[in-house]
């Protein structure tokens, strides 16, 4: 780990290394929190998940179990954010930080009219927008079926791109370097 790595990141990764049975539940919780509106601001899960990817390669953790946990956590976090936006769209418009940006929901509505499910899919890969896109999609009353298709497909793609470089990259470095 680099010297400037926060202590809690190192602690979580060391815990996973020592207690591998907890890897999938922890990854699920991190991916869920990273995808949940407002909570995502408090949980720097992507950095930890990159470290877990490296642990997969270094400590022999099962890639597929952890990959599935990451994808399920991400998809369910977005689903809950979408649901909150869909059912509480009037209240969300009056809540911080949305109330400070009165044009946010109208702009979001135009965004989803233009991009639809592709906007949801792409938002998964843009860190600052990851948790906000589903909330705004719900608040803008985006139809559930295209949202869920984009949500689930992007969750599996995101889990792959988040874990695979560490899992296979470390293996390739040690094998060929």
Is 2 inside any structural domain?
no
176 pLDDT higher than 90: no
Please give the pLDDT value at position 160.
94
Is 157 inside any structural domain?
yes
Is 1 inside any structural domain?
no
Is 67 inside any structural domain?
yes
Task: Print the domain residue range for 152.
Answer: 7-176
Model confidence, pTM: 0.84
Is 15 inside any structural domain?
yes
130 pLDDT higher than 90: no
Number of domains in the chain: 1
76 pLDDT higher than 90: yes
3-class SS at 36? coil
CB within 8 A of 20, min separation 6: which ones? 59, 61
Is 48 inside any structural domain?
yes
């Amino acid at each position: 780990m680099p010297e400037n790595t926060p202590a809690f990141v190192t602690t979580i990764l060391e815990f996973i290394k020592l207690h591998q049975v907890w890897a999938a539940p922890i990854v699920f919780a991190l991916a869920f929190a990273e995808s949940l509106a407002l909570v995502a601001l408090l949980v720097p899960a992507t950095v930890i998940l990159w470290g877990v990817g490296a642990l997969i390669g270094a400590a022999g953790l099962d890639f597929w179990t952890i990959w599935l946990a990451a994808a399920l956590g991400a998809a369910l976090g977005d689903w809950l954010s979408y649901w909150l936006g869909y059912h509480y769209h009037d209240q969300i418009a009056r809540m911080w930080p949305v109330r400070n940006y009165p044009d946010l929901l109208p702009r979001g509505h135009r965004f989803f009219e233009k991009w639809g499910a592709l906007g949801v899919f792409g938002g998964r890969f843009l860190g600052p927008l990851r948790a906000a896109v589903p909330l705004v999609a719900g608040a803008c009353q985006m139809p559930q079926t295209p949202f869920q298709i984009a949500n689930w497909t992007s969750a599996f793609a995101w889990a792959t791109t988040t874990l695979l470089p560490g899992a296979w990259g470390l293996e390739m470095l040690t094998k060929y370097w």
